[in-house]
């Protein structure tokens, strides 16, 4: 078989004819042919397995596991058994809409082989089936395959690569079931299944019986104490009847007392009504007498009011006359006082006139020089011009300040961007930074671990090296692509510790605590770097066309180089940069197995059998990504261009700022000169304006003084004033006499009005006394009416209340009597009218009975019903338990009989498997054992695989976590080999089971596999592996199927022709 890209893959067409199978017999159901087209990695392929061990080998990615997929899907199983993609459309090769798989199975004796073809459709994710060339259903194909006892879903018979870990993680019970199906008696699995079902039924029955028995015992215990509760319940019932009877008697006693109170309240109501009616009859005559007295008093009050009004008017006139007289007296006194002050006032007037004349003369003298000259218009115009120019210059300076601020801020931002761009250029020029960015994008855990390591290097004994990707420097940059191809990604991301203590601390802090997914190795005790010697001296290497070994093209700390020699063999991989190496010459020399020529890496392997023919596989180097010596040139160019642009912008801004500052200084100087000129002009203008204002103020003062002088001179003389005052005194005296006459007239009117008013008051005194006496009697009578009405209301309220209470007592009493049971009603009807016992006595008896009833009895009305219900339940449970016991004995008999058939067969099978398994482990110097794990539940029965790989250990169960991957793989394959020869399946398959094994174990397992699968009685076996160790055992019954791949493969290849060609070349070679 071959594998390369989309090219066709096909084994030689004459291979089937070249391999004689006359002495090889296939078991019925063995696979004799496999063909597929457009399936996973294959365009088209057909190969023919042998009846015994079939070893399928080939490099990774060439399609070994595709063979497993073809067998599983071609025989009708679902994709889930493979542990890969869950839908069939995923198995159609990319670029094709459909593909098919065809499996040919060896038929039963005297019957034709069975050919199954499955056609897969990508778009519909469906399949079509052909059985022996005719359309069929999946069910028909499954029946045909099942007839050969093929078990693809059983991991003991069919173990794909992605299910290897599932085998080690299988539970003991699942391993037991699969082992029974794969190698046990045909009825073994059926017996086990029946035992599990019967066991579940028995366990459920036992649980139910225990519950029912417990319930039965509990009910009997409850009924044992229930009889006492029933007696207490009867006592309580009697006491409740007594309480009910007493409650009825108390209610009727309360009714009798309430009836007596009702009768008394009714009598009080009638007496209050009669007293109120008597008082109301006395009120009308008294009201009539009061009304007559009120009318007479009203007439007398009208006369008195009229006289009082006349007196009041006379009094008002008198007060006005007296007020006028007082004012005239005061005026007359004022005129006399003015006449006395005339001499002094004349002296003051003359003095004031002299002072005013002197003040006017002084002001006229100050104004003799005439008004000052007004301010020059040119001065004001010049001042306005200077102010305008100053405003313009100020605005220019402010604009320049704004522009300077903006330019300086812009320059600051440009400088910051320039600094960032310079830092970015520095980072882009740093190889470590570039590679850290690669790690940050591809493996965040590794990047975070580097950051943690930078902060915590002091806690380690020695230096812990960052991942290989960061630590490696390229001494020859042209080899970067080749080196990166040689270093897998896991190697590139590996941390290197120099001591075991540092390794333990590193893994504890970062892997155990933080759960980061990291690769780390420790080099303590590893081989020294000098021990990794190249396979050829440099002179011979250059003669073959090589330039250097891969190790010579890099530089790193010694421990990192030691790790790379151990993990990637860089000391043994030569590189030819120009691609001048001849692959045929390299096949003839056998020291170098892997080399790089130009942009291609070659791997040469040699057969371990026969003449150890070479086989060379080639592939193109990976594109350079991680170990680039320089950064992204496009990004560097962009950064450089940005740097130049920013620097130019910064220089331009600096020049602009300098020019603006100079212009601003010039404008500022002009502004200062204008400010000085403006101050000088303003001072001159203010002086002229001040002189003009002083002149105007002098004019106003002079005018005011002249008006005052004229006023004083116009005032009359003293004699004239005396005459005026005399005339005024005469007029006031006349008015005063008239006022006195008016006062006398009003006094006479007032005296006459008072006399008439007094007579009217004396006439009204007897009428008032009579009216007041009538009113007092009427008020007293009204008080008696109100008291009578209040007393009647109180009596009525009390009567109503007593009536309601009486009716309520009656209703309660009759209600209690009606609600009582018939026996209680009959017992109390004869004593209801008996008043020999008072209400207090009956209430006391009721209180004592209720107190006894309130004592907790612990018994409810349901006691008797519960007692009877439990009795019925106890009888029912007895019948159910007896039936369950019979069913239990029957199930135990069935289980014992079935176990007697199943267990001896199972133990015999496990003894045979254990003998083979223990012997296989013993041949490897280890120990292994198969044990049957028993349990009361047959579903928990299982097979425990116990292994021991070191003398210091004990046998330990095989789990998916306890052993290493290699130990699990070794245990798995030895267990599967132990089933060889016992299996009912016509073929078995394991895919890459040797992953993780050390060479010694892998070689021993291979030898045992060849020995056990190449016996005449062995069945067909498929072993898929990506590698071979030198010197492996070979048996003539085994068949090796090799998947070839490369840049090109022929459409058809004849192995026989190759053999003849090789023999001819050997015959022509000179003998030594």
Q: What does 5-57 look like in DSSP terms, one character per residue?
A: TTS-----TTHHHHS--TT--PPTT-EEEEEEEEETTEEEEEE---SSEEEEE
Lowest mean pLDDT among 168-182, 546-560, 579-593, 620-634: 620-634
The reported pLDDT for the residue numbered 373 is 67
> Which carries the bigger pLDDT value, residue 956 or residue 118?
118
What pLDDT is recorded for position 890?
A: 92
Token digits of residue 127: 């399949």
pLDDT recorded at residue 778: 72
From CA 1063, how far away is CA 1055, in angstroms rounded? 12
Q: Give the pLDDT confidence score for residue 981 in this predicted structure.
A: 67
Strand 594-597 to 600-606 pairing:
antiparallel
Q: Which of 16-30, 901-915, 922-936 has the lowest mean pLDDT?
A: 16-30
Q: Please state whether beta strands 53-57 and 1020-1025 pair in parallel, antiparallel, or not at all (unpaired).
A: parallel
- How many CB atoms are located within 10 Å of the residue 274 CB? 9
Q: Are the C-beta atoms of 172 and 972 separated by less than 8 Å?
A: no
pLDDT at site 36: 93
Q: Work out the burial of residue 636: count CB atoms within 10 Å of its CB; fewer than 13 is exposed, 13-18 middle, 19 or more buried.
A: middle
- Identify whether 69 is part of a domain: yes
Q: Is the pLDDT of residue 6 over 70?
A: no
Instruction: Identify whether residues 443 and 539 lie together within a single domain.
Output: yes
Neighbours of 797 (CB within 10 A): 11
* Alpha helices (runs of H) in 959-1054, residue ranges in sequence order: 965-978, 999-1013
Domain contains 967? no
Last residue of a domain, one of 814, 841, 860: 814
* Highest mean pLDDT (candidates 124-138, 272-286, 317-331, 911-925): 124-138
**Can you give the CATH number for the domain in which 790 is found?**
1.10.287
Highest-pLDDT range among 35-39, 471-475, 538-542, 603-607: 35-39
Q: Is 225 exposed, middle or buried (0-12, 13-18, 19+ CB in 10 A)?
A: exposed
Final residue of a domain: which of 783, 814, 845? 814
Residues 28, 153 share a domain: yes
**Which pair of structure tokens corresponds to residue 556?**
């790193």
Shared domain check, 436 and 325:
no
pLDDT the model gives residue 856: 54
pLDDT of residue 151: 76
Q: Is residue 620 helix, strand or coil?
A: strand
Q: Which two tokens stand for residue 999?
A: 């060479």
For residue 103, pLDDT beyond 90: yes
1072 against 600, higher pLDDT: 600
What pLDDT does residue 973 have? 78
Token digits of residue 351: 């003095």
| d(C-alpha 649, C-alpha 534), whole Å | 58
Structural domain contains residue 685: no
Say if CB 1002 and CB 922 are below 8 A apart: no
Same domain, 337 and 440: no
Q: What is the mean pLDDT of the chain?
A: 80
Please state the rounded mean pLDDT for residues 379-391: 80
Supply the DSSP string of 805-856, one letter for each residue.
Answer: HHHHHHHHHHHHHHHS-HHHHHHHHTTTT--SS-HHHHHHHHHHHHHHHHS-
Cα(155)–Cα(165) distance, rounded to whole angstroms? 11
What crossing angle do the helices spanning 718-819 and 283-366 adopt, rounded to 10°?
A: 140
Q: How confident is the model at residue 630 (pLDDT cuts 50, 70, 90)?
A: very low
Over residues 665-701, the pLDDT tens digits come to 888 888 888 888 878 777 777 777 777 777 777 778 7
CA neighbours closer than 13 Å in the CB half-sphere of residue 311: 14
Alpha-carbon distance of 732 to 713, in angstroms, equals: 30
In the prediction, which pLDDT does 1049 show?
A: 63
| N-term to C-term CA, the chain | 37
Residue length of the chain: 1072
Q: Give mean pLDDT, residues 243-252.
A: 75
Identify whether 491 is part of a domain: yes
Token pair for 927: 């120990």
Q: Is 818 left (phi over 0), alpha (psi -120 to 50) or beta?
A: alpha
- Of 160-169, 277-286, 456-465, 908-917, where does mean pLDDT reach its minimum? 160-169
For 1022, the 3-state DSSP assignment is: strand
- 726 C-beta neighbours (distance < 10 Å), count: 11
List, for residues 46-57, the tens digit of each pLDDT value: 999 999 989 998
Distances (CA, A) of 22 to 18, 719, 1018: 12, 186, 17
pLDDT band for 617, please (50, 70, 90 cuts). Answer: confident
936 in Cβ contact with 198 (< 8 Å): no
Is there a domain that residue 671 lies in? no
> CATH number of the domain that 122 lies in?
3.40.50.300
- Lowest-pLDDT range of 25-34, 371-380, 819-828: 371-380
Kindly tell me if the per-residue pLDDT of 631 is higher than 50: no
| Residue-level pLDDT at 18 | 34
Average pLDDT over residues 805-822: 79
The separation between CA 69 and the C-alpha centre of its own chain, rounded to angstroms, equals 42
What is the mean predicted confidence (pLDDT) over 617-624? 85
Q: Say if 266 falls within a structural domain.
A: no
Domain match, 333 and 450 both? no
Distance separating alpha carbons of residues 821 and 244, to the nearest angstrom: 9
Indicate whether 658 pLDDT > 50: yes
Same domain flag for 605 and 754: no
The domain boundary, picked from 798, 814, 830, lies at 814
pLDDT band at residue 117 under the 50/70/90 scheme: very high
- Model confidence band, residue 343 (pLDDT cutoffs 50, 70, 90): low
- pLDDT tens-place string over residues 729-745: 777 777 777 777 777 77
Q: Which residue has the tokens 């392929």?
A: 45
Whether the per-residue pLDDT at 12 is higher than 50: the answer is no
552-572: average pLDDT: 93
991: burial class by Cβ within 10 Å (0-12, 13-18, 19+)? buried
Phi/psi of residue 592, nearest 5 degrees: -100, 120
In this structure, of 99-108, 324-333, 831-840, 895-904, the range with the lowest mean pLDDT score is 831-840
Q: Are residues 447 and 565 in the same domain?
A: yes
Number of domains in the chain: 3
Per-residue pLDDT, averaged over 509-538, amounts to 92
> Averaged over 202-221, what is the pLDDT?
86
Three-state DSSP at 121 gives strand
- Assess whether pLDDT exceeds 50 at residue 20: no
In a domain, 1050, yes or no: yes
Clarify whether residues 45 and 159 are in a common domain.
yes
Of 155-164, 543-552, 889-898, least confident by mean pLDDT is 155-164
Identify how many contiguous H helices and E strands the chain contains and give both numbers.
25, 23
d(CA 859, CA 1041): 90
Question: Is residue 570 pLDDT above 90, yes or no?
Answer: yes
% pLDDT > 90, the chain: 16
Please state, for a pLDDT cut of 70, what percent of the chain lies above it.
85
Spatial distance between the Cα atoms of 196 and 200, rounded to a whole number of angstroms: 6
- pLDDT (0 to 100) of residue 859: 56
Residues 462 and 567 in one domain: yes
User: What pLDDT score was predicted for residue 860?
Assistant: 57
CA atoms within 13 A on the CB side of 109: 1
Cβ pair 179, 911 in contact under 8 A: no
d(CA 671, CA 292): 112
131, part of any domain: yes
Please indicate whether residue 607 or residue 477 has the higher confidence score (pLDDT): 477
Closest among 257, 256, 255, 264 to 809, alpha carbons compared: 255
Which two structure tokens, joined as six digits, stand for 931?
A: 């044990």
Rg value, the chain, Cα: 67
Q: Record the tokens describing residue 484, joined without a space.
A: 């990166």
3-state DSSP assignment of residue 473 = strand
Contacts of 479 (CB under 8 A, 6+ apart): 548, 550, 553, 554, 575, 577
Lowest-pLDDT range, 90-99, 669-678, 758-767, 1012-1021?
A: 758-767
Give the separation between CA 98 and CA 447, rounded to whole angstroms. 44
Contact in structure between 614 and 620 (CB atoms under 8 Å): no
- Distance between CA 962 and CA 945 in Å, rounded? 13
pTM for the whole structure:
0.41
What pairs with residue 134 in β-bridges?
131
CB environment 336-375: b (16+ within 10 A), e (fewer):
eebbeeeeeeeeeeeeeeeebeebbeebeeeeeeeeeeeb
- Across the range 15-31, mean pLDDT stands at 59
Structure tokens belonging to residue 106:
């060896």
- 572 and 438 in one domain? yes
Strand-by-strand arrangement of the 594-597 sheet: 548-549, 574-576, 594-597, 600-606, 614-620
Question: For residue 311, what are the domain limits?
Answer: 283-342+724-814
992-1010 confidence digits (pLDDT tens): 776 667 788 788 888 888 8
- As a whole number of angstroms, the distance between CA 151 and CA 181 comes to 8
CB atoms within 10 A of CB 694: 10
């Amino acid at each position: 078989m071959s594998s390369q890209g989309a090219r066709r893959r096909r084994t030689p067409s004459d291979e089937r004819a070249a391999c004689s199978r006359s002495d090889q017999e296939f078991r019925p159901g063995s696979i004799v042919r496999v063909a597929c087209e457009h399936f996973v990695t294959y365009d088209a392929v057909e190969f023919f397995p042998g009846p015994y061990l079939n070893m399928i080998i080939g490099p990774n990615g060439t399609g070994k596991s595709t063979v497993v997929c073809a067998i599983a899907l071609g025989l009708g199983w679902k994709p889930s058994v493979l542990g890969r993609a869950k839908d069939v459309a995923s198995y159609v090769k990319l670029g094709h809409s459909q593909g098919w798989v065809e499996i040919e199975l060896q038929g039963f004796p005297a019957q034709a082989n069975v050919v199954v073809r499955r056609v897969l459709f990508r778009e519909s994710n469906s399949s079509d089936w052909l059985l022996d060339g005719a359309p069929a259903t999946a069910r028909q194909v499954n029946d045909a395959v099942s007839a050969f006892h093929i078990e693809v879903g059983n991991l003991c018979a069919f173990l794909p690569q992605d299910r290897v870990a599932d085998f080690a993680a299988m539970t003991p019970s699942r391993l037991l079931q699969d082992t029974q199906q794969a190698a046990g008696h045909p009825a073994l699995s059926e017996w086990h299944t029946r035992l599990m079902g019967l066991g579940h039924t028995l366990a459920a029955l036992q649980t139910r019986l225990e519950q029912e028995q417990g319930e039965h015992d509990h009910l009997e215990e409850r009924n044992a104490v229930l009889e006492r509760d029933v007696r207490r319940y009867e006592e309580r019932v009697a006491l409740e009847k007594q309480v009910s009877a007493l409650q009825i008697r108390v209610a009727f006693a309360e009714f009798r007392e309430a009836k007596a109170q009702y009768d008394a309240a009714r009598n009080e109501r009638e007496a209050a009504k009669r007293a109120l009616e008597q008082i109301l009859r006395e009120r009308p005559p008294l009201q009539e007498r009061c009304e007559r007295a009120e009318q007479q008093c009203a007439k007398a009050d009208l006369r008195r009011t009229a006289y009082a009004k006349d007196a009041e008017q006379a009094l008002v006139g008198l007060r006005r006359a007296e007020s006028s007289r007082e004012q005239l007296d005061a005026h007359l006194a004022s005129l006399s006082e003015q006449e006395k002050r005339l001499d002094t006032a004349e002296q003051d007037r003359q003095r004031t006139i002299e002072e005013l004349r002197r003040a006017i003369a002084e002001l006229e003298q100050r104004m003799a020089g005439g008004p000052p000259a007004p301010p020059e218009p040119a001065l004001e115009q010049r001042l306005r011009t200077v102010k305008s120019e100053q405003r313009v210059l100020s605005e220019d300076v402010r604009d320049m300040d704004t522009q300077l601020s903006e330019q300086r801020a812009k320059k600051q931002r440009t400088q910051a961007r320039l600094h960032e761009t310079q830092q970015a250029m520095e980072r882009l020029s740093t190889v470590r930074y570039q590679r850290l960015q690669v790690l940050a994008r591809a493996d965040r855990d590794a990047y975070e671990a580097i950051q943690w390591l930078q902060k915590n290097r002091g806690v380690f004994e020695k230096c812990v090296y960052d991942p290989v990707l960061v630590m490696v420097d390229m001494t020859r940059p042209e080899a970067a692509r080749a080196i990166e191809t040689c270093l897998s990604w896991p190697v590139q991301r590996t941390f290197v510790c120099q001591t075991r203590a540092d390794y333990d601390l590193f893994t504890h802090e970062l892997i155990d605590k933080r759960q980061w997914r990291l690769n780390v190795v420790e080099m303590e005790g590893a081989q020294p770097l000098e021990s990794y010697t190249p396979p050829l001296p440099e002179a011979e290497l250059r003669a073959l066309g090589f330039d250097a070994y891969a190790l010579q093209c890099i530089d790193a700390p010694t421990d990192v180089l030691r790790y790379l020699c151990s993990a990637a063999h860089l000391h043994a991989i030569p590189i030819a940069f120009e691609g001048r190496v001849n692959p045929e010459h390299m096949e003839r020399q056998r020291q170098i197995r892997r080399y790089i020529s130009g942009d291609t890496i070659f791997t040469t392997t040699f057969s371990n059998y026969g003449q150890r023919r070479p086989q060379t596989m080639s592939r193109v180097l990976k594109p350079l990504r991680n170990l680039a010596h320089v950064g992204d040139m496009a990004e560097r160019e962009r950064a450089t261009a940005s740097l130049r642009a920013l620097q130019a912008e910064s220089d331009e801004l600096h020049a602009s700022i300098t020019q603006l500052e100079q212009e601003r200084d010039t404008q500022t100087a002009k502004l200062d000169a204008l400010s000085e000129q403006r101050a000088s002009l303003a001072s001159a203008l203010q002086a002229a304006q001040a002189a003009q204002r002083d002149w105007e103020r002098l004019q106003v003062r002079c005018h005011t003084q002249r008006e005052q002088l004229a006023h004083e001179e116009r005032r009359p003389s003293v004699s004239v004033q005396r005459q005026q005052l005399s005339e005024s005194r005469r007029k006031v005296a006349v008015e005063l006499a008239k006022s006195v006459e008016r006062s006398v007239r009003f006094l006479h009117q007032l005296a006459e009005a008072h006399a008439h008013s007094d007579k009217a008051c004396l006439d009204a005194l007897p009428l008032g006394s009579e009216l007041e006496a009538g009113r007092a009697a009427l008020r007293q009578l009204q008080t008696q009416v109100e008291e009578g009405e209040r007393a009647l209301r109180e009596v009525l309220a009390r009567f109503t209340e007593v009536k309601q209470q009486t009716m309520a007592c009656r209703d309660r009493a009759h209600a209690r009597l009606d609600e009582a049971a018939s026996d209680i009603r009959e017992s109390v009807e004869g004593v209801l009218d008996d008043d020999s016992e008072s209400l207090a006595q009956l209430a006391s008896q009721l209180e004592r009975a209720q107190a006894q009833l309130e004592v907790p009895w612990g018994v409810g009305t349901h006691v008797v019903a519960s007692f009877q219900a439990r009795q019925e339940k106890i009888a029912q449970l007895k019948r159910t338990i007896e039936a369950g016991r019979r069913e239990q004995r029957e199930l135990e008999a069935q289980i014992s009989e079935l176990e007697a058939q199943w267990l001896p067969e199972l133990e015999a099978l496990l003894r045979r498997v254990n003998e083979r398994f223990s012997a296989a482990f013993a041949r490897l110097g280890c120990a292994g054992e198969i044990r049957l794990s028993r349990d009361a539940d047959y579903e928990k029965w299982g097979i425990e695989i116990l292994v021991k790989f070191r003398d210091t250990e004990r046998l330990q169960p095989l789990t998916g976590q306890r052993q290493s991957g290699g130990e699990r793989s070794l245990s798995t394959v030895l267990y599967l080999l132990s089933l060889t020869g016992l299996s009912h399946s016509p073929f078995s398959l394991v895919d890459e089971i040797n992953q993780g094994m050390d060479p010694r174990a892998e070689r021993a397992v291979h030898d045992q596999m060849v020995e056990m699968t190449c016996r005449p009685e062995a069945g067909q076996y498929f072993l898929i592996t990506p590698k071979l160790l030198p010197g492996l055992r070979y048996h003539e019954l085994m068949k090796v199927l090799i998947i070839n791949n490369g840049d090109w493969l022929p459409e058809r290849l004849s192995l026989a022709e190759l053999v003849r060609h090789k023999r001819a070349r050997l015959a022509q070679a000179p003998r030594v």
